[in-house]
Structure 1
């Protein structure tokens, strides 16, 4: 009988160990070292020493939890939120907002220097774009669960858990949404069909609050009447989602937000940036960096509902937006028409596949903007280079994939000229970043 090698699982050493933190990673966790191996510990800051216990032990790294903090950094502050130690929403409230901004800038610079080989002499480190530290978040998902005794759990997920931590107010949530939480909880508790509620999605649009209720079974007549009366009383835009792909606009106007003098309507199912102030400044900076001119043709990849495309269309000769989700393409097209922008055209395409033969990919563009999801834009970078634009602005919510994708541009004759951090998500380890790449003109031979 043949024998096959079966590797044994690495046994985690759970003995308590002392560690000192040197720096933060790009998720906000502290990094220290034990026996030459990097150890990631949530909740610790650089210079702090603590007793920890390993929770995960891999070949090249480990993770640990804090048993006891032995020393505190001068940058440590008391968290503003009463449930910070339980809620999974924020992970950096123990660091001052200014300290968070500095740490995020450092993480971005280190990652780009390590993987993208920045030319420090020619790359301008842009001052960070920041907003108010509290009540900035205009989108949130509220988890709902009914206990066996009929009582409603209403709040956010606990750290690394599916359990729910009860929430009556949230210091990062937009204040109009905060004011809606108590009466919304009371409404849901009163419903006969509350057991069938999946979750609640809240959005603060420029024209008011939006509530989306996902439910697994139809509401009876009494529950429907209560929900409708709640929408009227609180003047909210109400949407119901009885199925995954179904959305019923039950009450109120269509939500929208304004940017660069434009009004962009959206559905509660659409992705919009959670921080309205940072988003407005981000779009303005992208247009400035690209230096969009009246003769320019601009390509916007991962364009969504036109957040960058439509403001750029006000400055350019033509803008082409490409997005993978059909509904977003339709929304962007509708927004262009509603804002009388006839020089913006939108296409649906899977940007992880070969796009070479698609109609829009045959056109010529002077400038390109990319704003991919966390996975980055690896599938389309080679084609971006092939189109040979004069300038490329890459907007990223993951500095690791930005650094990775940047290598393609740098290896093909582009130079990183500007790099900036955008504090889209205060009190979390997440950061938004923007990089400007300019095609280096080859010197002509004499």
Structure 2
């Protein structure tokens, strides 16, 4: 007689191990804006902690060489710890109590370090970079200049996340710290003043915009002469959606854009590039919501000295317009430009530095790996009245780029690489042809490893300066100059 046995159900999994809560004295600050406790073994990297503080920490990960954790509460605080000005930020003041971390209450993931006084935060970042330089290069002293601080409201572009799974409680805002959850946020303290009321109006209107379930995200952009609200639509919009967008456009004097996927059937479209992703909506004056036409966005940003360049809604831009201009002025000053100078601008993007530099020199060669940006740079040069600049689309690590740099016979170099840095390019280019090099970095860590090549080639660092491009965050822009 056969016997059948039901298999025993194994425990679904081992119960998730409860990670410890520890009290730590924070001794340092990392390049990523975290506190570090070196007296603990292994060392502990702590989000939300500052040097000199005694904090209670929830450990979130345990690795062999390092533990990770987040502050639960602060026992002894840093002298420059403040209540974050935004009610949704880490370290915000709520109910007369400062909540230092995301563990106390859900917080927006945008301004991770706004609970530190801005100039004090830059001083902490400067110390952290000095220590990193000494660790990886040696006992050299960086020639620091006073940092350039940002205005509180600085961001001219923002992407709003959407959670429309519950049509009765649609959320529009930003993602929560260390999570994918969308926080419904009616205001953002770092947006440019003109964008603030637009965000608030979107937050108010979203309760009636049930069609947002078909929108991936919303982009806000303050361009040269208009504000754009762009909906990343996933399917054609309804008549109801078009009427809502028309009313919003008229009430708030904004330009509405949608992705090609959101174009309703029967809407006439003006000639546009077949590869275009975004189209702008234009309504007739008769208030007929379906009497709408489409056009490809024609958006521009301004720089210094009446320079300008076109921009796409998905493009990377320097979101802090005033600090971007300050950084261009500083870079031009550090290059010590003369009328007969010939300058190569590597990672030139849309000509942010190239075109203003060309106005003061004999010739500029800009090289960029993204073809669309090269096209925008050429358009910007024409619009800015500049004809002594050449933009080349090329992989900067190839022989084509190296040959172009050598053939241009440039005597000065400007670098503005992505976060990965420029080590692969600096290892190939003949640095001896340059008498002066300005390096604009968005990642001090990769900058340190790159400048080793410059120092080995006989250059000396003459100027190092932080630009608080993204105030209250872990990111910082760094401008430096090297001479032989």
Q: TM-score, normalization: structure 2? A: 0.83
Query: In structure 2, how many angstroms separate the alpha carbons of the residues matched to 1:136 and 1:114?
Result: 34
Cα drift, residue 272 of structure 1? 1.3
- Give RMSD over aligned pairs: 2.2
Partner of 1:293: 338
Per-residue CA shift, 1:114-153, capped at 9, x if unaligned? Answer: 3344643xx5322211222x11111211101113344211
Larger RCO of the pair (alpha carbons < 8 Å, separation 6+): 1
Query: In structure 2, how many angstroms separate the alpha carbons of the residues matched to 1:358 and 1:225?
Result: 55
SS of structure 2 residue aligned to 1:114: helix
Query: In structure 2, how many angstroms separate the alpha carbons of the residues matched to 1:258 and 1:291?
Result: 19
Give 1:292-441 correspondences, 5 Å limit.
292-355=337-400, 358-386=403-431, 388-439=433-484
Cα drift, residue 30 of structure 1? 0.9
Contact 1:260/1:280 (<8 A) preserved: no
Cα 1:369–1:12 shift into 2, 3 Å: farther
Partner of 1:215: 233
Match of 1:115 among 111, 128, 136: 136
Match of 2:278 among 247, 258, 262: 247
Cα 1:149–1:225 shift into 2, 3 Å: closer
Cα drift, residue 357 of structure 1? 5.6
Cα drift, residue 353 of structure 1? 4.7
Cα 1:337–1:307 shift into 2, 3 Å: same
Match of 1:284 among 304, 326, 329: 329
Query: In structure 2, how many angstroms separate the alpha carbons of the residues matched to 1:422 and 1:109?
Result: 16
Deviates more, 1:371-380 or 1:360-369: 360-369
Instruction: Select the structure of larger CA radius of gyration.
Output: 2
Cα drift, residue 82 of structure 1? 0.9
Contact 2:25/2:37 (<8 A) preserved: yes
Cα drift, residue 234 of structure 1? 2.0
Deviates more, 1:140-149 or 1:223-232: 223-232
Cα drift, residue 12 of structure 1? 7.7
Partner of 1:128: 147
SS of structure 2 residue aligned to 1:379: helix
Give 1:126-165 correspondences, 5 Å limit.
126-132=145-151, 134-165=152-183
Query: In structure 1, how many angstroms separate the alpha carbons of the residues matched to 2:371 and 2:205?
Result: 34
Q: TM-score, normalization: structure 1? A: 0.89
SS of structure 1 residue aligned to 2:174: strand
Query: In structure 2, how many angstroms separate the alpha carbons of the residues matched to 1:256 and 1:146?
Result: 32
Query: In structure 2, how many angstroms separate the alpha carbons of the residues matched to 1:217 and 1:356?
Result: 41
Contact 2:224/2:301 (<8 A) preserved: yes
Q: Any stretches of 5+ residues in structure 1 without a counterpart?
A: 1-10, 440-446
Cα drift, residue 260 of structure 1? 2.7
Residue 204 of structure 1 pairs with residue 249 of structure 2: no
Cα drift, residue 418 of structure 1? 1.2
Partner of 1:44: 49
Cα drift, residue 214 of structure 1? 0.5
Cα drift, residue 19 of structure 1? 0.8
Contact 1:135/1:173 (<8 A) preserved: yes
Query: In structure 1, how many angstroms separate the alpha carbons of the residues matched to 2:351 and 2:424?
Result: 21
SS of structure 2 residue aligned to 1:320: strand
Contact 1:115/1:407 (<8 A) preserved: no
Partner of 2:265: none
Cα drift, residue 313 of structure 1? 0.5
Give 1:27-66 correspondences, 5 Å limit.
27-66=32-71
Q: Any stretches of 5+ residues in structure 2 without a counterpart?
A: 1-15, 91-106, 262-274, 283-296
Contact 2:367/2:401 (<8 A) preserved: no
Cα drift, residue 217 of structure 1? 0.7
Contact 1:352/1:378 (<8 A) preserved: no
